[in-house]
Amino acid sequence: MVTIIMGGQIGSEGKGKIAAYLANEHHMSIRSGGPNAGHTVNLNGNKYIMQLVPCAFINTSCLLAMSAGSLINPEILLAEIERINIKKELLIIDPQAGIIEDRHIQYESGMLKNRLSTGRGVGAATSEKILRKDEFKLAKDIPEFQPYIQTVEKIANEYINQGKKVMIEGTQGFDLSVHHGSYPFVTSRDTCSGTFCGEVGISPRMVKDIILVLRTYPIRSSNGPLYEEITWKDITNFAQSPEEIIEFTSVTKKVRRVGKFDETLVEKAIRINRPTQIALNFVDYLDYKDYQIRDYNNLSSTAKKFIEHLEKKYNTPVTLVGTGPDTFDIVDLRKEKGVL
């Protein structure tokens, strides 16, 4: 059985939080994507910002994997492995995963960073891989990766055949898809559920659940369209919060742009990806009294009405409701909604 976690807006929807929350229910978790965005996990007072390692690392018996469709900066991945002390037997890297080198980063920093790129080298490396450049390296070419090299699709399919649960941690957000997003303000890859299956090497027929992660107020960290852009002061006032609400990007530490919930964008994301569940994060931005609530009965009427509206409009159950930064600041409605 396979579960896909994916972003339904413009990134930073809290996919890492949802993946970490579900980690203990899975035997294997596979990352598809590159280091151009950070996934944040808050657990037991510790904050982990992961650019490459799957957020399911909090389950110390879960096999972690980097797919053939991922792009890896070796320096970043090796540092993350050391920082969270991942055992060698718990991480595998597909031999055909692409490698980001310094020249890719330099190219983007010099030509694209201020316009469309995070400057992490992902787009430049992607273009080399697509053009089959001789100088482009794969994971199997990196000496330090040799202890981790295994064919991810083979092991993933073996797990599925054995009845084990596999999770795919998708990257970025739907509106950043190079095919379906707000071109040219997009990433260098597709960010749809079907593509994640292809990058990992798993048939879509094996997918049981697609969890579309949304946030109450979408953000965009770079240039490009943002529906009814507002300020963090506006959100602080909307939530009647006694403390300022503001967000910075997890990697570059820039103040995030923020806008109102774009129902048309989400409708398109649902039409193309057909999620079985919705995870809604940052509900406490609707009403600060919902901060760290973990029981649906204790949620504000504002939050409940928002959830009910989404379910009615999109005919998809809202099963996980994020109310704070900690991995377990979640109202879990899966049993009530009959999806467990």
pLDDT of residue 111: 60
At residue 248's C-alpha, the angle toward residues 13 and 318, to 5°, is 20
CA-to-CA dists, residue 191 to 187, 205, 316, 322, angstroms: 9, 18, 20, 22
Cα separation, 217 vs 275, in Å, equals 20
Strand partners, 257: 220
State pTM to two decimals: 0.95
Look up residue 239 and give its two tokens.
């939530």
| pLDDT of res. 119 | 77
How far is residue 5's CA from residue 171's CA, in Å, rounded to a whole number?
9
Find out whether 83 and 95 touch, Cβ atoms under 8 Å.
Answer: no
Query: How many residues are listed for the chain in this entry?
Result: 340
2-332: which CATH topology? Answer: Adenylosuccinate Synthetase; Chain A, domain 1 (3.40.440)
Residue 38 CA to residue 254 CA, distance in Å, equals 13
Position 250 scores a pLDDT of 64
Q: One digit per residue, pLDDT tens: the chain, 340 residues?
A: 999 999 999 999 999 999 999 999 999 999 988 887 778 888 888 888 889 999 999 999 999 999 999 999 999 999 999 999 999 999 999 999 999 999 999 988 766 555 556 778 999 999 999 999 999 999 999 999 999 999 999 999 999 999 999 999 998 999 999 999 999 999 989 999 999 999 999 999 999 999 999 999 999 877 889 999 999 999 999 999 999 999 987 666 788 999 999 999 999 999 999 999 999 999 999 999 999 999 999 999 999 999 999 999 999 999 999 999 999 999 999 999 999 8
What are the sequence ranges of the domains in the chain?
A: 2-332
Strand 166-173, strand 2-7: pairing: parallel
pLDDT at 112: 53
